[in-house]
Amino acid sequence: MASTGEHHLLSTEIVNRGIEPSGPDAGAMTFSVRVRRRLPNFVQSVKLKYVKLGYHYLTKHGIYLAVAPVVFLLFGAEVKRFGRKELWHMLSNSTGGYDLVIVLALFTLLTFTLTLYIFARSRSIYLVDFACFKPDDDLKVTKEEFIELARKSGKFDEASLEFQKRILESSGIGDETYVPKSIMSTEKTSTMKEGRAEASMVIFGALDELFEKTQIRPKDVGILVVNCSIFNPTPSLSAMIINHYKMRGNILSFNLGGMGCSAGIIAVDLARDMLQANPNNVAVVVSTEMVAYNWYPGRDRSMLIPNCFFRMGCSALLISNRRRDYRRAKYTLEHIVRTHKGADIASFRSVYQEEDEHKFKGLKISKEIMEIGGEAIKTNITTLSPLVLPFSEQMFFFSNLIKRYFSGTTTSEKSSHRLPPVQQISQFEPSSSATKPYIPDYRLAFEHFCIHAASKTALNELERNLGLSDKNMEASRATLHRFGNTSSSSIWYELAYQEAKGRVKRGDRVWQLAFGSGFKCNSAVWKSIRRIEPPATGNPWLDCIDRYPAEALSS
């Protein structure tokens, strides 16, 4: 039976099993309860502090915008009192000095306010282009081949193989994902040598394509940010890139480790901050994960799950703050909102790297990962909403929240956390008098959705909670099916999918939502500068885009 307080997190079905034939309860009706873990309903218990945080982001520089019109109106009203001849006479003579002082003071204040706003305003950040690595076909495996190779490696018993097979069948992953050859060998794969070999393959493959597409020289790159959660050698991956491409000696280099699947947006955020501090510059952001180094050869089921989902992948972006790059850039960065739940011990331990009882290293996935992830996502979306939702949607949401508050709906929800599970079920059966929560229509704020392709279950739950359509989730499901979970780079494979379909038009807004260990959830919003034509080269979807969307994606 579910623990108290999980009525938002579990889908519960009570099944009548008939009459108990024997025992102390003979003759009594018996029931069984089926419980399936789900994401929490995002709008059932919205915390206003996160809504306020979103408006804080929105009005960060609003003081300048508020002061400037007031000063301008006062200045205009003061000048309007005088005719042209009177104003000239006042400026050329000492008479009327008091009025002249007021006019000049207001003019100075107006100039100072506008100047302060211009310098305080963030510089525009352009995404010139990006590249996603596509491995060679000899690294491609079907789900059946994956299990057979795992069996031949001799690292798993039959129970572990059967468990991985069941996970794969319901994972949403197709038969064309990529894995390193080394993981199926009988030898140990999580070695520095194997990690460096895989890193060189995926990172240099993505960067070679990026430099070719953008025609920029590696020596022109002023800022380099690399994120890889598990594999962090010395020298770092960023140093490996600098050495390989012979980049300049004064490059600002950063290497982010241990930050999970949401680290791609964190890396973009860091690159943005560095570009704000270093004008007329370009940055390269590389997001990847090493599959072989993260391979778990043991029998702990919670640590076998990553084996089934994670696949090879890497993305590389070229970001610029140079005005001359506007004409050739694809997108401008509008917003980044980051949420970190690491202060909570359950969130901190939800995705945890450790050794099992046999000293095999791996990632342990908590059974409460859906609930924990859902809370982080809900917090992030609540903070993001004031920045992106149309005013009408915000009004509907707040009026509904106030109505539910005064009708006592939110109070009853809080008090029901103390009820036993069976009473919780009856407590929340539909009632005609209860005010239903209003779910904002995020399709009015974004034309394209790139939600981290973590698993089929996570994507289904996010679609349900956010009120999205199958088409909105198409890029995420297609990426999971074709490339698997490529960790922090998955959101870029999804954007590459939208471009390959020719769907990105001028002015479209793209929402990238990523979540991972910590527990963290991050959002990035991009706006298309121009229509993106379907590429002839340099896109990982070119050989298979016509096969998507497949019917299997929505099943």
Q: Of 239, 255, 248, 330, nearest to 288 (Cα)?
A: 255
**Burial bucket for residue 459 (CB in 10 Å: 0-12, 13-18, 19+):** buried
**pLDDT, position 1:** 35
β-partners of residue 523 are 337, 513
Give me the residue label for tokens 């992953």. Answer: 173
Instruction: Identify the H or E element spanning 525.
Output: strand 520-528
**pLDDT, position 425:** 30
495-539: per-residue pLDDT in tens? 999 999 999 999 999 999 999 998 999 999 999 999 999 998 999
Give me the amino acid identity at 319: I
Give me the residue label for tokens 């006019």. Answer: 103
**Number of neighbouring beta carbons within 10 Å of residue 257:** 15
Q: Which two tokens stand for residue 348?
A: 């901190």
Q: Of 232, 148, 213, 195, nearest to 312 (Cα)?
A: 195
Give me the residue label for tokens 């598990």. Answer: 230
Q: What is the spatial distance between Cα 459 and Cα 477, in angstroms, rounded to a whole number?
A: 7
**pLDDT, position 551:** 64
**Burial bucket for residue 387 (CB in 10 Å: 0-12, 13-18, 19+):** middle
Q: Output the tens digit of pLDDT for each of the chain's 555 residues.
A: 333 333 344 444 444 445 555 554 555 554 444 444 555 555 555 555 555 555 555 555 455 455 555 555 555 555 555 555 565 565 555 444 545 666 667 677 767 766 665 555 567 999 999 999 999 999 999 999 999 988 988 889 999 999 999 999 989 999 999 999 888 777 777 789 999 999 999 999 999 999 999 999 999 999 999 999 999 999 999 999 999 999 999 999 999 999 999 999 999 999 999 999 999 999 999 999 999 888 898 899 999 999 999 999 999 999 999 999 999 999 999 999 999 999 999 999 999 999 999 899 999 999 999 899 989 998 898 888 888 888 888 787 777 767 766 776 554 444 444 333 333 333 333 444 456 666 778 899 999 999 999 999 999 999 998 889 999 999 999 999 999 999 999 999 999 999 999 999 999 999 999 999 989 999 999 999 999 999 989 999 999 999 998 765 655
Q: What is the spatial distance between Cα 523 and Cα 514, in angstroms, rounded to a whole number?
A: 6
Helix axes 48-58, 369-388, angle to 10 degrees: 40
Q: Of 454, 442, 460, 446, nearest to 521 (Cα)?
A: 454
CA Rg value for the chain: 28
Q: What is the spatial distance between Cα 285 and Cα 410, in angstroms, rounded to a whole number?
A: 43
**pLDDT, position 98:** 46
Angle at 520 (CA atoms; ends 512, 494), nearest 5 degrees: 25
Q: How far is CA 220 from CA 223, 237, 286, 332, 438, in A?
A: 9, 19, 16, 21, 49
25-68: per-residue pLDDT in tens? 555 554 444 444 555 555 555 555 555 555 555 555 455 455 55
Q: Which two tokens stand for residue 321?
A: 């703050």
**pLDDT, position 477:** 96
pTM as predicted: 0.80
**Burial bucket for residue 109 (CB in 10 Å: 0-12, 13-18, 19+):** middle
β-partners of residue 315 are 132, 287
Q: Which two tokens stand for residue 155?
A: 């690292």
Active site members: 261, 340, 448, 452, 481, 485
Q: Which two tokens stand for residue 6?
A: 């999980």
Beta-strand ranges (E) seen in 244-350 are 252-256, 282-288, 314-320, 331-340
Helix (H, G, I), strand (E, B) or coil at 42: coil
Instruction: Mark residue 321 as left, alpha or beta (left: phi above 0; alpha: psi -120 to 50; beta: remaining).
Output: alpha
**pLDDT, position 34:** 42
